[in-house]
Amino acid sequence: MNISKTMLGLAFVSSIAFAQTPKKPADSITKTNTSINKQSTEGFNKYIEPQFTAFSPTSTFLKDSVLFGLKDYHQPALIDSVWTKTLLNSELYAEMQEMVNTSPYLDTINKAVSTDTLKARLARLDAKTPFNVTYNESLESVIQYYLKRNKKGMESLMSLSHYYFPMFEEKLDKYNIPLEIKYLAIVESALNPRAKSRVGATGLWQFMFATGKMMSLDVSSYVDERMDPVMATEAACQYLSSLYDIFGDWDLALASYNSGPGNVSKAIRRSGGKKNYWELRDYLPRETAGYVPAFLATMYLFEYADEHGYQPYEPRVTYFETDTIKVKNLIKFDQITRVTNIDTELLEFLNPSYKLNIIPYIEDKDYYIRLPLVETGVFVANENLIYNYAEEANLATAEEDPLPKYYEANDRIRYRVKSGDYLGKIAEKYGVRVSKIKGWNNLRSNNLRIGQYLTIYPRKPVASAPVSSKKVKVSKSSISEKYYTVKKGDSLWSISKKFPGITVQNIQNWNDISSHKLKPGMKLKVSNG
């Protein structure tokens, strides 16, 4: 049978639940013009049917003279631009870290709330939480400081919490952990799943590489599972539970989450055996001494937001249902975007662990794509067509835009000493202390010889030899290019990851741009030459 220019309607019917989604009366649904608008895109022709009744736009593309239509029936997603902007805001992390690191120890001169009122409110919090929230001047100084700093930023965090907190609470309840621990992610990452500290702690819960590996969060050149919100939250719950089992106190569990159980144990010994956090505070590292107060101050601000006049943006949709699909072949985000009509930034937000906006396919490993529930139905109903398109698109661009090598990061490396090396230089390269390197290798002096091998457990992930896979093509990433031409589906973050050592802020500064919006064909400077 000749199927040339035959429309294949591939429909999938699904339901979706949106919290706080206003329902439209049945008699108010009107039928609109169903004429087809043709939109030409690179690689195929895409046709968009305007929305009619309760149906969504239908994405179709032309391949070998056969028009494939990817259809689905659902309510429109009510994710407005303000809410989307809040979800994708990556600047809050730096602002939150500055607040935590600059909180004063004692400064209650200019008060945003009276001491008597604060005492009464803290007493109410203390009565309903397992944390020690009793009043003291140190805690008051931090709360007063937070109340006077960056109100708009805190309102953005309160708005963003509507998306993450339901998932956090579900996981915390599963492990019988106080639900107030959800505020810890505010202090750690400002709810940015791609947040990375100066020492390499990464993700919503700021796992160091070694701790992440201990909690089964893997890192490769394509994927960093510390940035996966669900996997990282599960790991954080397991780790916090183990810390509570050690100390039997949630304040000390939080302190050890920040500085390690060893530092908390040392503080207990130095204090003469005391186990109250506020009595141990002076014996803890300075960063940890401000960590628990920052957590308690954040809890106070969220619990008494109304009393202090915080007015966070209230999204019409606070939670939307998503589902995951196990990928069967390598596929890029821009390819998924083209066939599902999902906005690229939203796709990145739902799948932050894929560092290059590419989902690899590696034998004996499972990788998943997270999509809004309805688009999940579209993808599953048409996945053979989608994978065929992705494979042909990857082959067509193999020479011009080859895929990066797939590397797995190791928690231990063998380093060969080169001319000009010395222990301090090697220690700085891998983020460890000289004493650690000497201990790992039984060195009695700082003397090294060229060709000598050292065992190192780096704080920062280090790539191992490439993993062979016929699904991932090998290429060399060039870091010598001075300019990069923006392609469809690129973002500043994905571009920065193509050039080691370059950040989003670098690209913005070198190109005098403040927005994150890019257009295909733009040339961006990617070096400081």
**188 catalytically annotated:** yes
322 beta partners:
372
- Cβ proximity of 187 and 197 under 8 Å: no
Q: Which of 505, 232, 194 is nearest to 357 (CA)?
A: 194
State how far the Cα of 39 lies from the Cα of 48, in Å rounded to an integer. 7
Q: Which one of the listed residues 49, 140, 180, 188 is annotated catalytic?
A: 188
Q: What is the DSSP letter of 445?
A: S
- Greatest Cα pair distance, the chain, in angstroms, is 87
Q: What are the structure tokens assigned to 431, written together?
A: 């983020």
Q: How far apart are CA 428 and CA 408, in angstroms?
A: 22
Taking a C-beta distance cutoff of 8 angstroms, is the pair 379, 59 a contact?
Answer: no
Tell me which residue of 51, 50, 56, 53 sits closest to 77, measured CA to CA. 56
Distances (CA, A) of 49 to 86, 358, 419: 29, 28, 65
d(CA 33, CA 338): 23
What tokens does 331 get? Answer: 């596929």
Between strands 407-410 and 44-49, the pairing is unpaired
Residue among 235, 267, 228 at smallest CA distance from 249: 267
467/240 Cα distance (integer angstroms): 33
Name residue, tokens 């689905």: 72
Active site residues: 188
